[in-house]
């Protein structure tokens, strides 16, 4: 099913270009249900027309895009938001408002396609939550850009020196944080397998014995979505087996 999209930008040329780019994206397909040149028009259309996703400019006359996004959050079932702007400095603030993505102009079709696919995944997951809210996620900041990664997409979290590797089925991210903090906040989603690693409870596929020529007999966990196996410490073996059974 196509994503129903509202384009909000005070420049007619920018709206036209974005509409053309959306038409070129086929996975997922989109249906542009309307355009608005300011926040007042946008709210009127959102209240009148079913809308899954708002492609939102930030710098607009009157109420800007950040303020509009903040207002949308107060709705019972708000549409998802992807910011599209010429200004990169608002990215962190945008993600604090639970924006799905943040695209800088001129927008490339490939980058827009990625953002739409992420929107589709998150919207599908939010339907499963039952409350219409976005699923829990991490904000990854790397190489000059910020990205929202849904925790339901994460297969494991592994401490590497000062950072944490966040592994999904198709990508690795670097996250600046403490593994112990993530374990405490998301114990319902992840189980510790070793002092340096947490794995998704839903991704645990098997727990197997292995023989290491140096360390001797031990245990490894197999995970859905990745080929690599992670070591399981003896202290965590019972917890990992429980995650497998549940």
HSE on the CB side for 109, CA within 13 Å? 11
pLDDT in single tens digits along all 246 residues of the chain: 789 999 999 999 999 999 999 999 988 899 999 999 999 999 999 988 889 999 999 999 899 988 998 898 888 788 999 999 887 666 666 666 778 888 988 999 999 999 999 888 877 766 655 555 556 788 887 766 677 888 889 999 999 888 999 999 989 999 988 899 899 888 999 999 999 999 999 999 999 988 776 666 789 999 999 999 999 999 999 999 998 887
Each residue of 118-150: pLDDT tens digit? 888 877 766 655 555 556 788 887 766 677 888
Contacts 24+ apart (CB under 8 A), 125-128: 125/150, 125/152
What are the helix and strand counts (H, E) for the chain? 7, 15
Q: What is the DSSP letter of 134?
A: P
Backbone angles phi, psi at 183, to 5 degrees: -60, -40
- Model-level pTM? 0.59
Q: Residues 6 or more apart from 235 whose CB is under 8 A from it?
A: none
SS3 of 108, please? coil
All domains in the chain, ordered by first residue: 3-129 (3.40.50.2300), 152-245 (2.40.50.1020)
Contact 193, 179 (CB under 8 A): no
Distance CA 167, CA 140 (A): 12
């Amino acid at each position: 099913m196509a994503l129903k999209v509202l384009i909000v930008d005070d420049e007619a040329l920018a709206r036209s270009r974005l509409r053309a780019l959306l038409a070129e994206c086929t996975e997922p397909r989109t249906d542009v249900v309307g355009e608005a040149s300011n926040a007042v028009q946008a709210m009127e259309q959102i209240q009148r027309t079913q809308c899954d996703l708002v492609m939102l400019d930030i710098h607009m006359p009157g109420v800007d895009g950040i303020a509009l996004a903040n207002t949308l959050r107060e709705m019972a079932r708000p549409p998802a938001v992807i910011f599209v702007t010429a200004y990169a400095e608002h990215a962190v603030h945008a993600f604090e408002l639970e924006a799905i993505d943040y695209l800088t102009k001129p927008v490339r079709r490939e980058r827009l396609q990625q953002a739409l696919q992420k929107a589709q995944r998150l919207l599908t997951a939010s339907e499963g939550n039952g409350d219409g809210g976005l699923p829990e996620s991490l904000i990854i900041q790397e190489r000059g850009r910020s990205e929202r990664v849904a925790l339901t997409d994460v297969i494991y979290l592994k401490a590497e020196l000062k950072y944490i590797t966040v592994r999904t089925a198709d990508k690795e991210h670097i996250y600046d944080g403490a593994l112990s903090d993530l374990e405490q906040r998301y114990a319902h989603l992840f189980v510790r397998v070793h002092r340096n690693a947490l794995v998704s409870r839903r991704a645990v596929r098997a727990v197997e014995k292995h023989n290491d020529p140096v360390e001797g007999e031990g245990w490894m966990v197999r995970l859905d979505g990745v080929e690599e196996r992670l070591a399981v410490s003896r202290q965590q073996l019972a917890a990992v087996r429980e995650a497998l059974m549940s």
